[in-house]
């Protein structure tokens, strides 16, 4: 059975299909929607340990989670062990059941600061960070890549390092840093990481539909899958994989817009939901013209009006499920 319940150090999850943390996207209304469609766990956007130490209000905003959202998971990034542990022990993170340490982000501004995927090149520091965070008493997970550049084979070794330092789960993105989010997924290295440890291993990369999900688990033996970009284009991917009702965008969009506006205000909701509507338009006839109209919209009311016209029209090419 590919979709199944999962236990992470005593944390009982309904299923093994997760929404990845994505900066700028996985806010509460979006996570709530993905959970309603079947995601067994949904991560907050990544937050800087250093920013938390300085009392950043923006970071605190990113940590918002609704009372009914359970279990709660977030992603933390940083390169200073003492600050990472302090963040894990902070009041702001006390509500989270699982804290994931980002050691996979390939973005230059993160890597240049010695954070994200740069930590795979400093295994001793990475080990110290995980160990210090684990001392907080929180469940600690780690997300990393199979390597830094093409030809690297670091996944199994780094998986063992994470487990030895106290991680209770790892997520392996099957691409090297230089590939960013493109190119084939290295199923072999994810399989090697799975074989190297006893803790749950979640596979990430290239899963756009149920066929990809089944292929990922069959090829790697992973305990679950984490979905990122596919959820931005079609959050119904969770319903497809978990065999739930696939609600239409005509049903989903107004709710997401309303909840985003209520939580973050008119301006943020207008800008954010224009962007989300553009994702949801992928594969539809006349998408370019609709995007032009959407990005000219100056209010949530206008965005909602255009969305109703777009998603209320069932004719034309449906949203694609694959790249």
Catalytic residues: 105
Asked if residue 33 lies in contact with residue 232, where contact means CB atoms within 8 angstroms, the answer is no
Gap between the Cα atoms of 140 and 23, Å rounded: 20
Per the structure block, which two tokens stand in for 308?
A: 């109703």
H helices present in the chain, as ranges: 28-36, 49-53, 57-62, 81-88, 108-112, 123-134, 155-165, 187-196, 210-220, 229-233, 237-242, 249-264, 266-280, 287-296, 300-311
Q: SS3 of 236, please? A: coil
- Give the phi and the psi of residue 41 in degrees, each rounded to 5: -155, 140
Element (H, E) at 145: strand 140-147
Taking alpha carbons only, the member of 46, 44, 49 closest to residue 64 is: 44
């Amino acid at each position: 059975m590919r979709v199944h319940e999962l236990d992470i150090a005593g944390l009982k999850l309904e299923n093994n299909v997760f929404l990845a943390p994505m900066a700028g996207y996985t806010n509460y209304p979006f996570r709530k929607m993905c959970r309603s469609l079947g995601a067994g766990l949904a991560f907050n956007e990544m937050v800087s340990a250093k920013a938390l130490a300085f009392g950043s209000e923006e970071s605190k905003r990113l940590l918002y989670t609704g009372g009914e959202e359970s279990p709660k998971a977030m992603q933390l990034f940083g390169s200073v062990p003492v600050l990472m542990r302090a963040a894990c022990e902070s009041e702001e993170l006390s509500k989270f059941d699982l804290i994931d340490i980002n050691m996979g982000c390939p973005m230059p501004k993160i890597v240049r600061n010695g954070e994200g995927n740069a930590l795979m090149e400093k295994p001793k520091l990475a080990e110290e960070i995980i160990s210090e965070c684990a001392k907080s008493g929180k469940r600690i997970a780690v997300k990393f890549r199979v390597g830094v550049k093409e030809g690297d084979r670091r996944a199994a070794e780094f998986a063992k390092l994470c487990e030895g330092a106290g991680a209770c789960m790892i997520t392996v993105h099957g691409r090297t840093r230089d590939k960013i989010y493109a190119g084939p997924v290295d199923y072999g290295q994810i399989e090697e990481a799975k074989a190297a440890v006893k803790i749950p291993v979640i596979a990430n990369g290239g899963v756009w539909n149920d066929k990809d999900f089944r292929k990922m688990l069959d090829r790697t033996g992973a305990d679950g899958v984490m979905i990122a970009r596919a959820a931005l284009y079609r959050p119904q991917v969770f319903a497809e994989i978990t065999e739930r009702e696939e609600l239409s965008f005509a049903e989903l969009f107004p709710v997401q817009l309303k909840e985003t506006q209520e939580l973050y205000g008119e301006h943020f909701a207008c800008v954010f939901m224009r962007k989300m509507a553009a994702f949801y338009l992928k594969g539809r006839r006349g998408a370019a013209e609709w995007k032009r109209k959407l990005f000219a919209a100056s209010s949530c009311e206008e965005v909602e009006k255009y969305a109703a016209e777009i998603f209320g029209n069932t004719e034309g090419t449906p949203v694609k499920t694959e790249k």
